[in-house]
Amino acid sequence: MNLPAALIAHLALLSLISFGGFPSVLPDLRDFVVGTNGWLTDRDFANCFAIVQAIPGPNMILMTSFIGWQVGGLPTAIASALATFGPSCAVAYTAFRFWDRFRDTAWQSIVRRGLAPVTIGLVIAGGYVMARVGDAGWASLAVTLAAIALMLGTRISPLWLVAAGGALGALGGL
Amino acid sequence: MAYVLNEAPAGPRVTLPALFTTFLKVSLFGFGGPIVWARRFIVEQQHWLTDQEFADLLSLCQFLPGPNVASITVCLGSKLRGPAGAAAGLAGFIVIPWSIGFGLGALLLHFAGVGGLRNTLHGVSAVGAGLIIATGLRLLTPHRTRPMALLFAALAFVGLAIAKLPLLLVVTALAPLSIAAALTERAILR
């Protein structure tokens, strides 16, 4: 398999198993792109993640597009975007049709209560891995912890936190 | 819990351009928290769903794979106008915002190695990681009184983040066990 095809096949697989949203597949995606295949450096990967925090639009779809762009140019970027949302949207479309039919059944709430903790653990793992990516030092980890505290403890818009993080980085070189 | 998602809406028929433009706005405004904007446009502005219906739809989409808002777009578009509605909403959510975002981001990525921008991106990345962790912790709050739920969340975290196991392995190993645990919880409650 050539490079773009391997990336796109892997993204399509991750799309199908990204329970809890796309952040839960970030650790796996990083291993595949940076570790297994060496297409991007750790810092390139972190840059793709950082850039999509700062621009509008469907950010996880954009992130995989930037990875695709660096692996195989614009066609790979577009194919990566399609592979990120295509399979999961097909699942959503089908699931929505069936879900309602079984809405009052007991097993549905059991499945939901069972799956929720696993997906939540995966989401937190995604954040943890992104916090440790590249050459993250103590200052950088302190910024991550502050962002967690402010998100949980205040009603401040995440946009301000992203802006403050960028400003701190520019001033202090985290 | 009342699910009334598949019933036809009471008001006039929603047009495909309305679906396209609403999800275009959700996507373009969706800095840092598209769910907030999705609720504002869908519930408060268009009155396509009540608050309760939106919460139900969100909880379904959070547990489906893939980007949550993309799933909401597909489900709501399909509820209001069938397959064409799902396609119109998804096209609005993705085509224009993706093009703008890709152009802006490609420019930034080109200069990502330059000193000032490189340091800025470090800071943004650190905050972005914090936002994801905070979202996870907030989702965990309703489960905090269930020891088994906390155990499985911890196992999933350790498996993926510390032991660095493949995602597919973690999901297929833990999901059935966690569902079985939820089943026994229910038996005990009874």
Q: Dump pLDDT digits (tens) for A22-32.
A: 888 899 999 99
Q: Which of these three, B63, B88, B110, is where a domain ends?
A: B110
pLDDT of the residue at B11: 57
pLDDT of the residue at B36: 72
Whether A166 and chain B come into contact, CB under 8 Å, resolves to yes
> Nearest-CA distance from A7 to chain B in Å?
16
pLDDT of the residue at A39: 94
Closest listed residue to residue A164, CA positions, set A146, A149, A152:
A146
Angstrom distance (rounded) from CA A143 to CA B81? 45
pLDDT of the residue at A143: 93
pLDDT of the residue at A79: 97
In contact, A129 and B133? CB cutoff 8 Å: no
Q: Do residues B45 and B87 both lie within one domain? A: yes
Q: Judged by CB atoms within 8 Å, which residues 94-113 of A form the interface with B?
A: 95-97, 99-100, 103-104, 106, 109-113
The residue ranking higher by pLDDT, A17 or A104, is: A17
In contact, B86 and B14? CB cutoff 8 Å: no
Q: Do residues B149 and B137 both lie within one domain? A: no
Which of B102, B121, B135 shows the shortest C-beta gap to A50? B121
Which of A115, A126, A166 shows the shortest C-beta gap to B175? A115
In contact, B67 and B98? CB cutoff 8 Å: no
Q: Which residue range forms the structural domain that includes residue B124?
A: 113-144
Task: Show residues of chain B in contact with A47, CB under 8 Å.
Answer: 109, 112, 121, 125
> Nearest-CA distance from B139 to chain A in Å?
7
Per-residue pLDDT of chain B (190 residues; tens, 9 = 90+): 444 454 554 556 899 999 999 999 989 876 656 777 788 889 888 999 988 888 778 877 877 888 888 999 999 999 899 999 999 999 999 999 999 999 999 998 888 877 788 888 889 889 989 988 998 898 888 888 999 999 999 999 999 999 989 888 998 999 999 999 988 886 665 5
pLDDT of the residue at A78: 96
Q: Do residues B25 and B69 both lie within one domain? A: yes
Q: Do residues B81 and B7 both lie within one domain? A: yes
Q: Do residues B48 and B133 both lie within one domain? A: no
pLDDT of the residue at A159: 84
Count residue pairs from A and B with Cβ separation < 8 A: 388
Q: Do residues B128 and B182 both lie within one domain? A: no
CB contact under 8 A, A50 and B180: no
Task: Show residues of chain A in contact with B34, CB under 8 Å.
Answer: 58
CB contact under 8 A, B5 and A157: no
pLDDT of the residue at B148: 92
Q: Do residues B12 and B104 both lie within one domain? A: yes
pLDDT of the residue at B28: 87
Q: Do residues B14 and B100 both lie within one domain? A: yes
Q: Do residues B19 and B80 both lie within one domain? A: yes
For A16, the 3-state DSSP assignment is: helix
CB contact under 8 A, B121 and A51: yes
Query: What does the pLDDT look like over A33-76, one tens digit per residue?
Result: 999 999 999 989 998 998 888 787 888 899 999 999 999 999 99
Cβ-Cβ contacts under 8 Å for A43 (sequence gap 6 or more): A134, A135
Report whether pLDDT(A14) > 50.
Answer: yes
Under the banding of pLDDT at 50, 70 and 90, the label for residue A107 is confident
pLDDT of the residue at A104: 67
Chain B: residue whose CA lies nearest to A170: B120
CB contact under 8 A, A84 and B170: no
Domain count for chain B: 3
Q: Judged by CB atoms within 8 Å, which residues 55-94 of A form the interface with B?
A: 55-62, 65-66, 69-70, 77, 81, 84-85, 87-89, 91-93
In contact, A72 and A57? CB cutoff 8 Å: no
Mapping DSSP onto H, E and C, the string for chain B reads CCCCCCCCCCCCCCCHHHHHHHHHHHHHHCCCCHHHHHHHHHHHHCCCCCHHHHHHHHHHHHHCECCHHHHHHHHHHHHHHHHHHHHHHHHHHHHHHHHHHHHHHHHHHHCCCCHHHHHHHHHHHHHHHHHHHHHHHHHHHHHCCCHHHHHHHHHHHHHHHHCCCCHHHHHHHHHHHHHHHHHHHHHHHC
Q: Do residues B53 and B76 both lie within one domain? A: yes
Q: Do residues B117 and B161 both lie within one domain? A: no
Q: Do residues B172 and B82 both lie within one domain? A: no
CB contact under 8 A, B30 and A122: no
Query: What does the pLDDT look like over A148-165, one tens digit per residue?
Result: 999 899 888 888 898 999
Q: How far apart are the first and last CA of chain A?
A: 39
Task: Show residues of chain B in contact with A173, CB under 8 Å.
Answer: 119, 122
pLDDT of the residue at B3: 46
Closest listed residue to residue B4, CA positions, set B57, B41, B42:
B57
Task: Show residues of chain B in contact with A118, CB under 8 Å.
Answer: 152-153, 155-156, 170-171, 174-175, 178
